[in-house]
A and B are shown apart, each in its own frame.
Chain A
């Protein structure tokens, strides 16, 4: 097998970030304890470099590289951009926070880089083995990051829960891949597809395998009924880690789930689309209902992220309807961007409210924020309005496009559930806004320039991009041109 330059170019973004992480671990040894800001800066530079290479290479159409193991198409490049940008946002959230809470361990940045490289590989995976390996590469550093605040009981407990359930999910994924291999004698996606279209595949094993893979990945994106770990982990993990993984893991997980189902297993759509539709309905309903009763803001945002996964799952209604598949994909990418910006605005405000591990996180603690820090409160208000799906925000357009594809593919009931649960969600999102502006209080807020910047920038993005939804959707749609 001869490797050519394009092979290396295809994995360049992921390789850049992973090698950067290894180098960072070494370089960090020579940085004195009181100047760890340099480590944070270096990790941000590595992520920005990865983003740059990804954007530079994303436009070129490379054939699948490394014997069809890795592909860098527009779809992967778009998700890579989301993942790398949220990595940068994660570093911005964490830098001062870690120092303030005495959690400053410089492995943090290397672990973020390793996990990010796993997500990039997952976006680009073209072989089921790469899917498994990159899921592990993204998960194992995440388990450590969740338990970063060790000796704090909540953090350790959430890390163990995440670890046990995450590994459980990986085992399902692995067994599913083994079954697909058994059915088709290949793990390579194009070969799997051609084995299925040539009717050479064993249908029973194929169905079992695809179902197990869907279960395994549903854990990672926290779709109901595989969501139980999410609130505990988001509450127990250090806040920047929760905010970062709420966006990036879901982006990578949805990318690979869409790639697998729409590309490799369209023949199973009759059996699987009903299951995924049911999962979407359950996720929308349960995520929103359980969010109603939360008092802790991190748990509230965790359930909100579950509810958003429900809306994203509506994209799979196009599964049984290939002619609108690329519309559904574009709507999903659009929704992911809107969800990412909105989430980071909300999590940045939560990060600056948190004064000690777990302190300052009840919704009541936000009382008086509107008077004390009007800009932060405005960012939070925009985030909550966007999560609810009220115009003019990206959240509104995201839901609009997703519901539209659901209606076009004939899933009226699901779109209706989505609309009703969005109405329901107004109660708990707007409660935060009411507490911020109407209730008197003296909140303790830290002024952290990077977190402030992130909050303002994401909130401004959520608000301003909502005036040009068409052009953003065009970017997403253009990313997908060469996919089908």
Chain B
């Protein structure tokens, strides 16, 4: 049976991680930044699953469930914060978050 080599998955995961970093650094909408952060988390998950298949262990696959749970908790907090900010500022553009500086 032909299977896709593990390296391909790792390369894909590295690309996803880099795209996530670029998104965080370049995009200005807090929601899009947050989506890029989720991309980085999922790149980590993909790497975990790939290694778990390479080493034939189950424990690293369980880790992914933990990470997904944590990511869900972060979504809840992050979206709540953004809704609050949108109520006061009518915008979630990061460049307008400039009342604190110095």
Listed in ascending order, the chain A residues whose CB lies under 8 Å from chain B are 129, 132-133, 136, 140, 143-144, 147, 150-151, 153-154, 156-161, 163-164, 167-168, 170-172, 174-175, 177-179, 181-182, 185, 187, 231-232, 235-236, 293-296, 299
Q: How far, in angstroms, from A231 to B60 measured CA to CA in the complex?
A: 37
B84–A156 CB distance below 8 A: yes
**Quick check: A232 and B101 within 8 Å, CB to CB?**
yes
In the complex, how many angstroms separate the beta carbon of B78 from the nearest chain A beta carbon?
A: 6
* Band of interface residues on B: 35 or more
- Taken together as a complex, chains A and B put the C-alpha atoms of A171 and B24 apart, in Å, by 11
Q: Which B residues are CB-close (under 8 A) to A164?
A: 24, 30, 33-34, 37, 78, 94
**Given A187-B63, A231-B102, A236-B100 in contact, is the A175-B47 Cβ separation under 8 Å?**
yes
Q: Which residues of chain A come closer than 8 Å to B63, judged between CB atoms?
A: 129, 187
CB neighbours (8 Å) of B40 from chain A are 168, 171-172, 174-175
- B30-68 CB mask vs A (1 if < 8 Å, else 0) is 100110010011011001101100110101100100110
- Minimum Cβ distance to chain A for residue B51 (Å): 4
Contact B51 A178 (CB under 8 A): yes
Interface of A is mostly: helix
Contacting pair B51 A160 (CB below 8 A): no
- A161 and B97 contact, CB distance less than 8 A: yes
B100 to chain A: closest residue by CB: A232
CB distance from B66 to the nearest CB of A (A): 6
Are A160 and B81 in touch, CB under 8 angstroms? yes
Q: 5 other contacts beyond A143-B81, A153-B88, with CB at 8 A cut-off?
A: A154-B100, A157-B100, A164-B33, A178-B48, A185-B51
Residue of chain B at shortest CB distance from A166: B74
Closest to B86 in A: A156
* Cα(A182)–Cα(B20), bound, Å: 21
29 A-B pairs (CB sep. < 8 Å):
A129-B66, A136-B70, A140-B77, A143-B81, A144-B77, A147-B81, A151-B84, A154-B99, A154-B100, A156-B85, A156-B88, A158-B100, A161-B97, A161-B100, A163-B81, A167-B74, A167-B78, A168-B24, A168-B37, A168-B40, A171-B17, A171-B20, A175-B43, A178-B48, A181-B51, A181-B60, A185-B51, A231-B102, A296-B102
